[in-house]
Chain A
């Protein structure tokens, strides 16, 4: 039996606001198996972003454990975390974090090159990802020349350049119109089929509905975990009825 890709044990994050401790994540046990697609939902302030940042090593935990691929990660030093991220994790930030003085193409190729992939392979992968996301024509642009939705898709392409075994994404469709969301959903489906695990924070029900499991957070705690597949009881039939009811 292989280790889970992610396993958090009683994970806690408390921010300090002056003298006042503000708990953001209050004892989360989250286990994600290899190749699993998990969506994290919940109101703003429920701790979703903090949770995914901790899993990605971008914020230090207050207490608890984080295991990645069977390896204890929360005790790692910053540099060791960075190495682990480069090898195994792709991260899509809510605010993109693209390198401003590099072209779109170079932004996307960089993580693969850093991980030691050949220039030719990095280029092939970049062309595929930008093509899937409708960004081929923007390859030579600078990030600042792009609209928000384009930057967001570049950030996704960059996160996937390395074929990470774990994709972490914070609201990856937050700035997209519905056509671009469709491209992103298609790409996520492909990534999932290829066996990469996905953990993403989202408000977008179209994205969440594709996940194997939906984890709901409220006040820093898990209040629901969709388990294997969603309940799909349809007393009145299929999607056509939604339209009829609302239409």
Chain B
């Protein structure tokens, strides 16, 4: 979450709750909303590392508001994050480990494991279909996020099929 908060603060200074709202608005329900506690913990760490600073803004009739803004070091860290290529998905699939190892012990049947896993993936896909249906048509970031998850899930299913062909 660190770089995401830095990116939002590069746009404009904000307090914690505004950052939470911005994340929810940009990514929709497709992205699990961080709780406000996590956001403040992360902001505290960023402050300790000198990437953000905080100012107290006085409010009438209310406690002071803490507004965070990006430091020069924060901007540099953000630029580094943006410029750097991002790791692709790594295959260290827990199900695959089960599939290879469990039958060696005689406690599981591969075909049954694969069938169970396929149904589970299809159930997840059904959820994603529903999520896509509930997402605002104009929120392209959220829709693309859901579509990305669907494509990954499709790849998992194709791989499962390959496993079934080769191992059963």
Which A positions have Cβ atoms within 8 angstroms of B?
A: 41-43, 178, 182, 185, 203-206, 208-210, 214, 216, 218, 223-224, 226, 230-234, 238-244, 246-247
Contact = CB atoms under 8 A, between A and B. Distances in A.
A42 B165 CA distance: 9
Contacts of B154: 204-206
Contacts of A242: 124, 127-128, 149, 152-153
A203 B153 CA distance: 12
Interface of B: 29-32, 89, 111, 115-116, 118-132, 145-150, 152-154, 157-158, 161-162, 164-165, 168
Given A205-B154, A214-B118, A241 B125 contact: no
B31 A209 contact: no
A239 B132 CA distance: 10
Contact of B122 (A42, A205, A238, A239): A205
A29 to B, nearest CB: 17
Nearest to B130: A239
Given A203-B158, A240-B32, A247 B123 contact: no
A218 B115 contact: no
B48 to A, nearest CB: 25
A231 B120 contact: yes
Contacts of B146: 239, 243
Given A209-B129, A247-B145, A234 B118 contact: no
A239 B124 contact: yes
Contacts of A241: 32
B78 to A, nearest CB: 19
A203 B160 CA distance: 12
B88 to A, nearest CB: 11
B134 to A, nearest CB: 10
Nearest to B116: A231
B151 to A, nearest CB: 9
A246 B123 contact: no
Given A178-B147, A210-B129, A205 B31 contact: no
Given A224-B115, A233-B120, A242-B153, A205 B164 contact: no
Nearest to A244: B32
